[in-house]
């Protein structure tokens, strides 16, 4: 039987312990690549096809919109502007979307998670 490798998944919410070197550590595990932290769990995320986080890459987050107040978009080492289509979709779903560097997004995610807020994050891995 061939080995099947699936996207990393942690069922539930957990703070991000560290980031860098192309991945993240959380809940005693490590993940190489980008992450999508949702109310239902933490998932490996392929991220956007282009240079900015687009609406299509966030469909999983939009599917859980009823449980999300704030969506943090960690755009790598530098801040990238929020895609207008993402901004519009978030407004429709009554989600506050904030774009920031991945480091800032990880720190903000951890603080809001500790406060018990309905938080989600799309985090692009950084070197």
Task: Please count the CA atoms within 13 angstroms of the CA of 65 that sit on its side-chain side.
Answer: 14
What confidence tens digit (pLDDT) does each residue in 54-109 have?
Answer: 999 999 999 999 999 999 999 999 888 899 999 999 999 999 999 999 999 999 99
pTM, entire model: 0.91
Our count of domains for the chain comes to: 1
Specify the pLDDT at position 60: 95
Domain assignment present for 100: yes
Residue 3 lies in a domain: no
**Could you list the residue range(s) of the whole structural domain that residue 70 is in?**
9-123
What's the CATH code of the domain at 81? 3.40.1230.10
Cβ contacts of residue 12 below 8 Å, gap of 6+?
Answer: 41, 42
pLDDT digits (tens, 9 = 90+) for 28-61: 999 999 999 999 999 999 887 767 789 999 999 9
Q: What pLDDT, in 10s, does the model give residues 8-24?
A: 578 889 999 999 999 99
d(CA 117, CA 69): 7
Q: Is residue 23 part of a domain?
A: yes
């Amino acid at each position: 039987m061939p080995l099947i490798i699936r996207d990393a998944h942690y069922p539930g919410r957990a703070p991000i312990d560290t980031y860098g070197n192309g991945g993240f550590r959380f809940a005693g595990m490590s993940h190489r690549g980008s992450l999508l932290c949702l109310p239902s769990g933490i998932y490996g995320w392929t991220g956007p096809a282009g240079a900015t986080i687009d609406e299509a890459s966030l469909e999983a987050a939009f599917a859980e919109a009823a449980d999300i107040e704030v969506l943090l978009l960690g755009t790598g080492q530098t801040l990238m502007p929020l895609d207008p289509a993402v901004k519009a979709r978030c407004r429709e779903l009554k989600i506050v979307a904030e774009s920031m560097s991945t480091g800032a997004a990880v720190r903000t995610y951890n603080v809001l998670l500790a406060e018990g807020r309905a938080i989600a994050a799309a985090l692009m891995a950084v070197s």
